[in-house]
Amino acid sequence: MKDILTAPFMTEMIRTAALMYDHGWDERNSGNISLLLDETQVGEYLDTGRVLRTFPTGFTAPGLEGRCFLVTGTGKYFKNIRYRPETDLGVVRLTRGGAAAELLWGFSDGGTVTSEFATHILSHAARLSADPDSRVILHAHPPNLLAMTFVHSLDEREFTRTLWQMCTECIMVFPDGVGVLPWMLCGTNEIGKATAARLRAARLVVWAQHGVYGAGRDLDEAFGLVETAEKGAEIYLKIAHLPRLAAITDAQLRQIEKHYGLTVREGWLD
Ligand code: 2HA
Ligand code: ZN
């Protein structure tokens, strides 16, 4: 059996959590990441027949029965994951139609999965229905996106258009746009269902006055999505109060769409 701490999925997870912390996106115990694993790959590092603990999840996700996830733990600090992955991360397998999870590795201090586990798993199910290669859901509190939700309309089309207009890269990285949820209580199945519903159409969902969810085929893609939207929000906050002497027009956004063969969210360009 190979050492799981050397598995590419583990080293990438640790590196991403560290970068998210270093970017100022994940203060204290905020943020969470889940990565859908390939079961045969997991078998190279773990005896998948050996279940350490089983716990109820409080939701169902029948389509993900038997699937394994590497996930951050509740109450754990992203700041520390790089130093003690075996307590702050866990490998879990969904069972009983997703109503329970089996711990296969990690959470060695008796801990458990992120408080946003429902949102993560419902979001994986939603993204997989849109893209069978989707693997990652991540959540963070990036300050500029968060600040933007206090001073900008929360209309999804308007919010997305503003970000697209803030730097050329935005429409190229998220032509599918950004979903936006009004403030809702976090850690509940309700916010999980609302997030998952938006993730069917877009890989980014902003939680007003809280943070953002990003989805991707790998950690780099999900991280890069949030990074690019956060950059757009940063530019917006730098210029929102200043006179505008230049802009990226819809005609220019259409030029980008055509040149790069993008599938831009229907009806979101004028
Ligand atoms: O994991 O960020 O939304 C802590 C949070 C809750
Ligand atoms: Zn949060």
184 lines ligand 1 (CB under 6 A): no
Ligand 1 pocket check: which of 20, 32, 138 to mutate, most ligand atoms within 8 Å of Cβ? 32
32 lines ligand 1 (CB under 6 A): yes
What pLDDT band is residue 134 in, cutting at 50, 70 and 90?
very high
pLDDT in tens, 108-119: 999 999 999 999
pLDDT in tens, 164-198: 999 999 999 999 999 999 999 999 999 999 999 99
Query: According to the model, what pLDDT value does residue 188 have?
Result: 95
With residue 146 as reference, give the H or E element that holds it. helix 143-151
Among 197, 200, 201, 222, CA closest to 212: 222
How far does the centroid of ligand 1 lie from the alpha carbon of residue 255, in Å? 39
Compute the average pLDDT of residues 199-214.
Answer: 98
Structure-derived torsion over alpha carbons of residues 66, 199, 172, 162, reported in degrees to the nearest 10 = -160
186 lines ligand 1 (CB under 6 A): yes
160 lines ligand 1 (CB under 6 A): no
pLDDT in tens, 57-80: 999 999 999 999 999 999 999 999
Query: According to the model, what pLDDT value does residue 197 have?
Result: 98
Ligand whose nearest atom lies closest to the CA of 34: 1
Express the helix, strand and coil content of the chain in percent, nearest 5 each.
45, 20, 35
How far does the centroid of ligand 1 lie from the alpha carbon of residue 120, in Å? 11
Q: Is 116 a catalytic residue?
A: yes
Instruction: Give me the amino acid identity at 183.
Output: W
Q: SS3 letters for 15-37?
A: HHHHHHHHCCCCCCCCCEEEEEE
What pLDDT band is residue 136 in, cutting at 50, 70 and 90?
very high
- Residue 53 CB coordination number (10 Å): 13
With residue 213 as reference, give the H or E element that holds it. strand 211-216
How far does the centroid of ligand 2 lie from the alpha carbon of residue 138, in Å? 10
Catalytic residue among 116, 227, 230, 234: 116
Is 32:114 a contact under the CB 8 Å cutoff?
A: yes
Query: According to the model, what pLDDT value does residue 63 have?
Result: 97
Mean pLDDT of the chain: 98
31 lines ligand 1 (CB under 6 A): yes
> Which residue(s) pair with 72 in the sheet?
89
> CB pairs under 8 A, 24+ apart, for 188-196?
188/118, 189/58, 189/59, 189/118, 189/122, 191/119, 192/59, 192/116, 192/118, 192/119, 192/120, 192/121, 192/122, 192/123, 193/122, 195/119, 195/122, 195/123, 196/119, 196/122, 196/123, 196/125, 196/126
Nearest atom (ligand 1) to Cα of 140: 2
Rg (CA), the chain: 19
How far does the centroid of ligand 2 lie from the alpha carbon of residue 204, in Å? 14
What pLDDT band is residue 90 in, cutting at 50, 70 and 90?
very high
